[in-house]
Chain A
Amino acid sequence: MKILVCISKTPDTTAKIAFTDGAKKFDESGVQWIINPYDEWYALVRAIELKEKDPANIIHLITVGGADAEPIIRKALALGGDEAIRINTDSADSFSIAAQIAAVANTEKYDLIFTGKETIDYNGASIGGMLAALIDAPYIPLATSFNIEGTTATITREIEGGEEVVTVNNPVVVSCQKGVAEQRIPNMRGIMAARTKPLKVVEPAAVAALTSIESFELPAPKAGVKLISPDNVEELVRLLHEEAKAI
């Protein structure tokens, strides 16, 4: 079985969010970059577990980005995976990223494609759905568990107010979230092995973006907290009812 895991580079969850260039660009100064947590903790780790169960499985990692994305893809390879592909172009919007990955997927013919449920920077939650549509494969979003026997996958996915269990034959595109796997820490052997794993750089397909970011804004600061004595909860109830009109 051939598995593709889509990897995105995102700012660390504790990174200070600020903008430069007239609020047109994310301020990257001093920012630590990480593998998008959903891609790493759930999508990648589940793929690795499938390979541990059956060493014949092959895992490819893919990312769209410049050379600055290589430390992240090496870090992903340190966790596991056989080889990585970097599509050498700046990621413009979700559609252009999905179309670039689709171009590779159409030639490589993967049985399973895993993405994280969204990235923690642009929160698009779109790559999996777009990719599935572009390669005409079934799409199971927001998976909370993934198992496969032969060519039939059994997947639990989140629906509003509950979960749904589905079965589907591969190929299939799955967006992964909590429940699919548990976070792992790379070990020294993995880090050493990652140095020599193949990292293929491919030139981008001709794809135009459909959207562009005009500017960013930060939320207005809070006015400050109104503290109420723990012996006077009636006052909190009154404020919530009369002032905030929340209850």
Chain B
Amino acid sequence: MVLVYIDHQDNQIKKSTLEAVSYGAALAKQLGTDVHGLLLGAVNDDLATLGAYELKNVYQINDAVLAHFDAQVFVKTIAAAATKVGATTIVFSHNQTGKALCAGVSALLKAGLVTGAIALPNTSAGFVVKKSVFSGKAFANVSIQTAVKIIAISPNSYKVVGGASAAATTTPLDITVTAGHVKITAVHKTSGEISLTEADIVVSGGRGLKGPENWGILLDLAKELGAATACSRPVGDAHWRPHHEHVGQTGVQVAPNLYIAIGISGAIQHLAGVNRSKTIVVINKDPEAPFFKAADYGIVGDAFEVLPKLTDAIKKMKASA
């Protein structure tokens, strides 16, 4: 059985969960087995709708202790549940929650783990999963040798496949949950912003914008596109933008449909964080900027002139569409 971890936040199922469910459903088909979900706690969403992504059933452990996230408690609960239902492959999204959980479950079950997977496994001989390594500069094909296997898929690397006309069932699962040691004392939401790792479009700025006071034109463009905003390392280091926006080898790695880089030269460390983007647009006034070599489309020009025009052109395109 393929078991997909149903990650949720603010009582809602996350987009990255739908990717993991779609991946799990395709994997179950490939292996000739069923796909189930595992939900810890409760959500407001109707779990039956997960049937649209070909999920058959959701096992739910609704213990009051699970209302607050504690990796140690969740790891033990998931490991016990996976054993109880007889899961042979467990699928997580490798988002922040997946990063907190998949490794611990792997260690408790002695189940081989591949994190940052970007494709379905090759099961023609063994069980080989392709993952991104060297911060996006290469891929590794990793063989899992244990009976129980765990895959954590990279966000935005597997397409959500919906549209099936089935409803998923919900089965309560009885697992003893022990309270943990972690207390959550505050949550700070970067309100109104689109999550960088989940975003379809990312608009990113570098030193070429000259100062934090000039970010307005970039924010206008991002708003028009419904995009998340990001920045290069020097911009994060100079505190022009919050450091969680820093994209690159030592920052966040993103894989959106569209990445628009404005005034970023394209150092190898920055490229490592963005080179899995499907389409890259580079706007830079230096025609020698190395980023152009990694781009699909480029404009050699002054960001301060190009950006407002681009925002306008997108507005017009949308109005006529």
* Residue picked from B108, B131, B182, B243, most chain A C-beta under 10 Å: B182
Min CB distance A123 to B, Å, is 6
Min CB distance B10 to A, Å, is 9
Taken residue by residue from 200 to 211, chain A's Cβ proximity to chain B (1 for < 8 Å, 0 otherwise) reads as: 000000000111
Also in contact, A95 and B72, with CB within 8 A (given A140-B182, A158-B96, A210-B145): no
Question: Could you tell me the distance between the alpha carbons of A161 and B95 in the complex, rounded to whole angstroms?
Answer: 11
**Residue pair B313, A234 in contact (C-beta under 8 Å):** yes
Interface residues of B in 96-154 (CB under 8 A from A): 96-97, 99-108, 110-116, 128, 130-135, 137-146
Also in contact, A141 and B71, with CB within 8 A (given A123-B116, A225-B295): yes
Residues of B with C-beta under 8 A to A95? 106-107, 110, 112-113
State whether the Cβ of B85 lies closer than 8 Å to any Cβ in chain A: no
Of A17, A121, A126, A222, which is within 8 A of B113 by CB? Answer: A126
**Residue pair A120, B99 in contact (C-beta under 8 Å):** no
Min CB distance B223 to A, Å, is 13
Min CB distance A105 to B, Å, is 13
Taken residue by residue from 205 to 234, chain B's Cβ proximity to chain A (1 for < 8 Å, 0 otherwise) reads as: 000000000000000000001000000000
Question: Could you tell me the distance between the alpha carbons of A199 and B258 in the complex, rounded to whole angstroms?
Answer: 48
Min CB distance B102 to A, Å, is 7
Question: Could you tell me the distance between the alpha carbons of A219 and B294 in the complex, rounded to whole angstroms?
Answer: 12
Among the 9-residue stretches B32-40, B54-62, B161-169, B304-312, the one with 4 or more Cβ atoms under 8 Å from chain A is: B304-312
Q: What class of interface size applies to chain A in its complex with B?
A: 35 or more
**Residue pair A123, B195 in contact (C-beta under 8 Å):** no
Question: Could you tell me the distance between the alpha carbons of A57 and B139 in the complex, rounded to whole angstroms?
Answer: 41
State whether the Cβ of B3 lies closer than 8 Å to any Cβ in chain A: no
Also in contact, A240 and B268, with CB within 8 A (given A130-B106, A247-B314): no
Min CB distance A167 to B, Å, is 5
Closest to B250 in A: A37
State whether the Cβ of B286 lies closer than 8 Å to any Cβ in chain A: no
**Residue pair B279, A161 in contact (C-beta under 8 Å):** no
State whether the Cβ of A67 lies closer than 8 Å to any Cβ in chain B: no
Among the 9-residue stretches A46-54, A79-87, A131-139, A184-192, the one with 4 or more Cβ atoms under 8 Å from chain B is: A131-139
Residues of B with C-beta under 8 A to A32? none
Looking at chain A's contact residues, the main secondary structure is mixed
Residues of B with C-beta under 8 A to A139? 71-72, 75, 100, 104
**Residue pair A210, B139 in contact (C-beta under 8 Å):** no
Also in contact, A138 and B180, with CB within 8 A (given A125-B103, A133-B107, A161-B9): yes
Residues of B with C-beta under 8 A to A236? 281, 297, 299, 310, 313
State whether the Cβ of B265 lies closer than 8 Å to any Cβ in chain A: no
Q: Which residues of A pack against B, CB within 8 Å? A: 11, 13-14, 17, 19, 37-38, 41, 93-95, 98-99, 120-134, 136-142, 144, 154, 158-169, 172, 178-179, 209-219, 222-223, 225-230, 233-234, 236-241, 244, 246-247
- Known pairs A130-B107, A247-B201; list 7 more (Cβ under 8 Å): A123-B133, A123-B135, A129-B102, A129-B106, A139-B100, A159-B96, A230-B305
Q: Which 10 A-B pairs have the closest CB atoms?
A: A230-B301, A129-B103, A210-B112, A133-B104, A126-B103, A246-B258, A130-B107, A133-B107, A162-B189, A165-B186
Write 29 A-B pairs (CB below 8 A) sorted by A numbering. Answer: A17-B134, A99-B107, A124-B103, A133-B104, A133-B108, A158-B96, A159-B9, A160-B195, A160-B197, A161-B9, A164-B186, A166-B185, A167-B182, A172-B181, A210-B111, A210-B145, A210-B146, A211-B112, A211-B145, A216-B139, A216-B140, A217-B139, A218-B137, A218-B138, A219-B139, A225-B282, A225-B297, A234-B316, A237-B314
Q: Which residues of B pack against A, CB within 8 Å? A: 9, 14, 69-72, 75, 94-97, 99-108, 110-116, 128, 130-135, 137-146, 180-190, 193, 195, 197-198, 201, 225, 236, 243-244, 246, 249-251, 253, 257-258, 268-269, 272, 275, 278-279, 281-282, 292-302, 305-306, 309-310, 313-314, 316-317
